[in-house]
Amino acid sequence: MRAILQRVTQARVDVDGETIGEIGEGLLILICAMQGDTQAQADKLAAKIGKLRIFKDEDGRMNRSVKDIGGSALIVSQFTLAADTSRGNRPGFSTAAPPAEGEALYEYFADQVAAQGMPVAKGQFGADMKVHLLNDGPVTIWMDSET
């Protein structure tokens, strides 16, 4: 699985003009299931994200996790993280998991993040979403379940 984490002071996702998920301080997690990904990889990635120390402590150092600060997660499916730009000018997305598998892993991943005691809001898999965020820092981190 691939993820982009953005440390935010607030974020929301809208579908058809309605807000369907919203958080205050925490992480906006854009997530993509790749072909062959498993629940074990989702478990590993969710656990690592929950412990990642990218929030400031009292000395201004990135030394706290999202759980340490009582933050939330907004999890949005993002199949374009599978983009292959190695040939031509149009990205290919054939390495993304098929839609049914991708949706199942997306939902499973969100459940695993929530199981860590973190409030979770979600986007809508496969929908045309408008994501609004106030990136804090800015801090943006790319992660892969393979690394």
pLDDT band at 49 (very low <50, low <70, confident <90, very high): very high
Domain residue limits at 85: 2-140
Contact residues for 110 (Cβ-Cβ < 8 A; gap 6+): 75, 120, 122
- Active-site residue, 55 included: no
Tally of CB atoms within 10 A around 100: 8
For residue range 90-134, what is the model confidence (pLDDT) as tens digits?
999 999 999 999 999 999 999 999 999 999 999 999 999 999 999
Domain count, the chain: 1
CATH number of 100's domain: 3.50.80.10
- Active-site residue, 79 included: yes
- Per the domain annotation, does 147 fall within a domain? no
Active-site pick, 19, 39, 80, 140: 80
Task: Determine contact, residues 26/66, Cβ cutoff 8 Å.
Answer: yes
Average pLDDT, the chain: 96
Active-site pick, 78, 95, 109, 147: 78
Largest Cα span, the chain: 48
- Say what the pTM is: 0.95
Q: What are phi and psi of 109, to 5 degrees?
A: -60, -45
Active-site pick, 79, 85, 125, 147: 79
- Active-site residue, 39 included: no
